[in-house]
Amino acid sequence: MSQWRKKEKDAVFSEEEIEARLKEELPTWVFENGWIRRKYKTSGWKGTLMVVNTVGHLAEAAWHHPDLTVSYAFVIVKLVNHAAKGVTEKDFELAKKIEEVIQWQPGIDEESELDGTPDDPRFKYIKYD
């Protein structure tokens, strides 16, 4: 359970708060140039499109839209609350949901009847952490 208390709606976190919270809750994300950012490495174009579509669905459902940099074998997701002019609770909440869905590996992260992607390079589409 997180120790972070929610701030008032659209309250901006300080740089120190952002760094500490990323370290605790989202260690693969970084704070850079006013944004929280994460690079997802993929195994090629198919995996990149799957990541982009997943992030797109989550962002649209949340009505909070990240900036994306898309290349053949990676996707960079950057979040900031433009209206608030900084990183807010919305950014952390969406980053956690993106991380949860993109990094989900049935049969590895949890007990599941789902097998997950076979351990075969022909079927790999994302490079998990």
- Give the model's confidence band at 1: pLDDT under 50 very low, under 70 low, under 90 confident, else very high: very low
| CA atoms lying within 13 Å on the CB side of residue 108 | 9
pLDDT, tens digit (0-9, with 9 covering 90-100), for 55-64: 999 999 999 9
Q: Which of 49, 43, 40, 45 has the alpha carbon at shortest distance from 121?
A: 43
CATH code of the domain occupying 32-102 = 3.30.1360.20
pLDDT, tens digit (0-9, with 9 covering 90-100), for 62-90: 999 999 999 999 999 999 999 999 999 99
Structural domain spans, the chain: 32-102
pTM given for the model? 0.90
Which tokens sit at 29? 């994300």
